[in-house]
Amino acid sequence: MKLKDMNVLVKATCYDCKKEDSLEVNLLDWSEYIDEGLLVQNVWPDLSTWDREVIIGHRTGFYQCALCNALALEDSQ
């Protein structure tokens, strides 16, 4: 199997509800994001905002799922 055909499973756990979200991304794309420091939206422009949030949360260790985020925004208004 070639590197361009390999994927990595990316997981992030919501700090509020503890729900784990995950998605698979291409290993070479992951390497560009982690090793070369490219912006997540430039590496994966076709992913949804929330899929990109999972990727960012995996890297940073800080993640809030879409539902908890919506609830937090609702509470702040």
pLDDT tens-place string over residues 16-74: 999 999 999 999 999 999 999 999 999 999 999 999 999 999 999 999 999 999 999 88
In the prediction, which pLDDT does 50 show?
A: 95
Query: Residue 14: left if φ>0, alpha if ψ -120 to 50, beta else—which one?
Result: beta
In the prediction, which pLDDT does 25 show?
A: 98
Q: Would you place residue 4 in the very low, low, confident or very high pLDDT band (cuts 50, 70, 90)?
A: confident
Cα–Cα nearest to 12, from 59, 47, 48, 45: 59
Helix ranges (DSSP H) in the chain: 27-35, 40-43, 49-60, 66-76
Query: pTM higher than 0.85, yes or no?
Result: yes
> 27-35 and 49-60 are packed helices; what angle lies between their axes, rounded to 10 degrees?
60
In the prediction, which pLDDT does 77 show?
A: 78
Query: What single-letter DSSP state applies at residue 39?
Result: -
